[in-house]
Amino acid sequence: MAMKIRLARGGSKKRPFYSIVAADSRMPRDGRFIEKLGTYNPLLAKDNEGRIVMNAERVQYWLDQGAQPTDRVSRFLESAGVLDKKTRNNPKSGTPGKAAQERAKEKADKLAAASEAPAEEATEEAAAE
């Protein structure tokens, strides 16, 4: 059985609240789970201790049993010190889109043209004297 440590959504509309659960990967997100390992409340401030509450001992047990944490849960576990930090690399996420690249190129061209114009005027004035 493929096990996952993942979030199960609770709470009402526009008021999310998640449970951190160990579940069979074939079950639906909010469906049947084996054990509740903690909670996550995204509405609380990031420095609030109640934002992420989990039983690290049980989480470690499920990791030892072969359960795979989802990306979001693995970030929680890394910040809690249960897992080692993974290096993540998404080089394309930081690059601007086509339109932004075109705007930047036009702006650079305008700046280059503006900086050349006063330099030419100064040389013309010096030559005239």
pLDDT tens per residue across span 72-110? 999 899 888 888 787 777 777 778 888 999 999 999 999
Tokens matching residue 102? 């075109």
Tally of structural domains, the chain: 2
Residue 86 covered by a domain: no
Beta partners for 52?
40
pTM: 0.66
Is there a domain that residue 85 lies in? no
CB contact at 8 A, 21 and 35:
yes
Which residues on adjacent β-strands are paired with residue 92?
Answer: none
- Give the helix ranges, DSSP H, for 6-96: 56-64, 71-80
Both 73 and 120 in one domain: the answer is no
Question: Domain containing 119: what range?
Answer: 93-129
pLDDT of residue 129: 59
According to the model, what pLDDT value does residue 60 have? 92
12 lies in some domain: yes
pLDDT tens readout for residues 49-60: 899 999 989 999
Looking at the structure, do residues 18 and 53 belong to the same domain, yes or no?
A: yes
Terminal-to-terminal C-alpha distance of the chain: 89
Are the CB atoms for 33 and 8 separated by under 8 Å?
A: yes
- CATH at 24: 3.30.1320.10
Whether residue 97 is contained in a domain is answered as: yes
